[in-house]
Homo-oligomer: A and B are copies of this chain.
Amino acid sequence: MTREARTLGSFLREHREALREDDSSYSLRQVAERVGIQPSYLSQVERDVAPSLPAEETLVRLAHELELDPDLVLAMAGKVSSDLREVILQRPQLFAELLRDLRTLPDHALMRLVREVRDGDW
């Protein structure tokens, strides 16, 4: 279950440090290198003091590196995955109406809808 980690930075740091308990290669510097950014920047990001949030591609690489759901990590940075954006842009009016109607639907009802759509009841 995902805990309540209010900010992107604390969330990332928390998960990196959890991974590091079993694997010392999850130091800030090594993760930064594997992700392809400067340690200084990752340090700022993890402390929520970066002058700007990482780009979508960077966040996705970070998510994979830390075994996190990219959609969740992107959301904590206030971003929506570009492939989801594409889905909406193909039929903006239909999806706009649908999303606005689903906005207030409780989680359990939304999950049921997802399940039925997935099962091909649509």
- Residues on A facing B (Cβ under 8 Å): 69, 71-72, 74-75, 78, 80-81, 83-85, 87-103, 105, 107, 109-114, 117-118, 122
Q: How many copies does the complex hold?
A: 2
The reply to whether A98 and B114 contact each other, CB–CB distance below 8 Å, is yes
The reply to whether B94 and A99 contact each other, CB–CB distance below 8 Å, is no
Nearest-neighbour CB distance to chain B for A90, whole angstroms, equals 8
A28 to B75, CA, bound (A): 39
Nearest-neighbour CB distance to chain B for A93, whole angstroms, equals 6
The reply to whether B92 and A71 contact each other, CB–CB distance below 8 Å, is yes
Collect the chain B residues with CB atoms within 8 Å of residue A69's CB. 93
The reply to whether A87 and B75 contact each other, CB–CB distance below 8 Å, is no
17 contacts between A and B (CB under 8 A): A71-B92, A71-B93, A72-B92, A72-B93, A75-B89, A78-B89, A80-B89, A84-B100, A88-B99, A94-B114, A98-B113, A98-B117, A101-B114, A101-B117, A102-B117, A105-B117, A105-B122
